[in-house]
Homo-oligomer: A and B are copies of this chain.
Amino acid sequence: MANIDLQDDLTADAPVLSVRDEEGHLNHAFIQAVEATIDAEDAIGLLKLAGKLHEADTGDLIESLGEADRARFVRLLGDDFDYTALTETDEAVRLKLLETLPNEDIAEGLGDLDSDDAVYILEDMDAEDQAEILGELPYADRAQLQRALDYPESSAGRRMQTEFIAVAPFWTVGQTIDYMREARDLPDSFYEIYVVDPTFRLLGAVALDKVLRTTRDEKVTSIMTETRHAVLATEDQEEVARRFERYNLVSSAVVDENERLVGILTVDDIVDVIQEEAEEDLRALAGVGDEEISDSVLTIARSRLTWLVVNLGTAVLASIIIALFEDTIEAMVALAVLMPIVASMGGNAGTQTMTVAVRGIATQELGARNMLRVLRREVLVGFLNGLALAVLIGLTAWAWFQSPGLGIVIAGSIIINMLFAGLSGLLIPIALDKVNVDPAIASSVFVTTVTDVVGFFAFLGIAALWFGLPF
């Protein structure tokens, strides 16, 4: 069942090829067949192979083709190419492909799309091309898209779809059904209809299943739910995503500052936002930006270098701490051997706490309400695990260097560093959030700095005191 047999409804003269293999990757033989039709400029063959694909499959297919083949693929399919597929490719692939296509073709392709998809494709293009393409569109479409583009990036207004069904409060269910049977230019698919007053102010929403379960003579207002969760067009998409997730929404009305209905958001757009958000935190914590698998070497190298240089600062700071104890180390070189253990254990424990804290802040599970309890817990966890590790490492160091003193020194400094790791892992993200810096981006530099500095300082310092070494 998991495999999709593309050829089900096509003529028998094309070979039967499934689009994806068991793992969900595009089938290699399928890609090759597509490439062969492109090379042969065989428009009919290509149409048979790839004309009826789901937009997501077409998007992946485009990414799998060589750069030159991508534009030829779009041209060969002509009017049968569904531009929605471009919403499913990486940004880099999309922009390069759009550059090679004539703006009139793009305008024609976008004209058929739901407004949210058209905006998604337009928003990253440069201003000149954008203006030219908008200029080619009929006035009504252009005005609609321009309005969405005027909302800030990543806002609900940018993501929303302006095709929706709105009815008057005095309508009956029967009238509504008749209207839907006749209306044209409806959205591709929808899950709710909306009730608005004469000034288009939003009164409520009616789920389609409610419409279907109700007799024709009932008023729509009798089955309407007041829209408690209407989204403001200027709201950030991440906030909207949180609301969708929290209240299990499938679609939501979008209103302007006068509470007038201007569009709708559906969960399929929001699913991407939800995934991106969790993934953004992951990338931010590791110091990689929003790079895509198809980005160029230079783009990626540059975006990652920033993070590495910032971390270089941390590393140099740690070295300065070590340099304070040069004489100590010279007197007892075993300290140089063992010191990275203390720093690295602290770093790992700090990262654990920090990860939990960063996600807790993002999902709003961590707040003023439970902060003290979590703080107490992190300190206790740090202490308990510090104790466990201290015993392990203390005995190891003792056995290795035949020095019980060294075991005690490293055990003590591990406990200290684990406590600092727990504290800084929790408090640094919270503090950054308070001053409106994204904790996912900035936390790990600070936490690592704390665990490195405390780790080296505690270990070398205690050792110098314990053994009476110079420093």
Interface residues of A (CB under 8 A from B): 1-2, 4-5, 8-9, 23-26, 28, 54, 56, 64, 177, 180-181, 186, 189-191, 207-209, 211-215, 226, 228-232, 235, 239, 242-250, 255, 259, 266-268, 270-272, 274-275, 278-279, 281-283, 285-288, 291, 293, 297-298, 300-301, 304-305, 307-309, 311-312, 314-316, 318-319, 322-323, 326, 329-330, 333-334, 336-341, 343-345, 348-349, 351-352, 354-356, 359-360, 364-370, 374, 377, 380-381, 384-385, 388-389, 392-393, 396, 452
Check A293–B248 contact: CB distance below 8 A. Answer: no
A255-B212 in contact given A293-B370, A300-B377, A307-B352 (Cβ < 8 Å): no
A208-B191 in contact given A285-B286, A338-B319 (Cβ < 8 Å): yes
* Closest A-B pairs by Cβ, 4 of them: A278-B278, A248-B268, A286-B355, A336-B336
Check B286–A381 contact: CB distance below 8 A. Answer: no
Beyond A288-B356, A293-B370, A344-B452, 13 extra complex contacts between A and B, CB < 8 Å: A1-B230, A23-B367, A54-B228, A56-B246, A181-B213, A249-B268, A282-B282, A288-B355, A297-B381, A319-B337, A330-B330, A333-B336, A340-B343
Q: Which of B244, B333, B343, B364 contacts A271 (CB 8 A)?
A: B244
- State the number of copies, please: 2
Query: Which residues of B have CB within 8 Å of A212?
Result: 177, 180-181, 208, 211-212
Query: Which residues of B have CB within 8 Å of A309?
Result: 389, 392
Query: Which residues of B have CB within 8 Å of A24?
Result: 239, 242, 246, 364
Check A340–B318 contact: CB distance below 8 A. Answer: yes
Q: Which of B209, B250, B285 contacts A282 (CB 8 A)?
A: B285
Query: Which residues of B have CB within 8 Å of A368?
Result: 25
Check A308–B349 contact: CB distance below 8 A. Answer: yes
27 pairs, CB–CB < 8 Å, chain A vs chain B? A9-B226, A24-B239, A24-B246, A56-B246, A177-B212, A189-B209, A191-B191, A211-B212, A244-B271, A245-B272, A250-B250, A274-B274, A275-B275, A278-B278, A286-B354, A286-B355, A288-B352, A293-B360, A298-B384, A300-B381, A304-B352, A307-B352, A311-B344, A312-B341, A316-B341, A322-B336, A333-B336
Check A191–B209 contact: CB distance below 8 A. Answer: yes
- Chain B: which residue is nearest A321 at the CB level? B337
- Chain B: which residue is nearest A214 at the CB level? B181
Check B389–A355 contact: CB distance below 8 A. Answer: no
Measured CA separation A401–B368 after assembly (Å): 48
Query: Which residues of B have CB within 8 Å of A285?
Result: 282, 286
Give the one of A287, A293, A314 with max B CB within 10 A: A293
Check A287–B186 contact: CB distance below 8 A. Answer: no
Check B359–A282 contact: CB distance below 8 A. Answer: yes
- Chain B: which residue is nearest A360 at the CB level? B293
Nearest-Cβ distance from residue A217 to partner chain B, whole angstroms: 12
Check B190–A209 contact: CB distance below 8 A. Answer: yes
A337-B326 in contact given A360-B293, A380-B297, A381-B304 (Cβ < 8 Å): yes
Check B56–A248 contact: CB distance below 8 A. Answer: yes
Nearest-Cβ distance from residue A250 to partner chain B, whole angstroms: 6
Query: Which residues of B have CB within 8 Å of A312?
Result: 341, 345, 389, 392-393
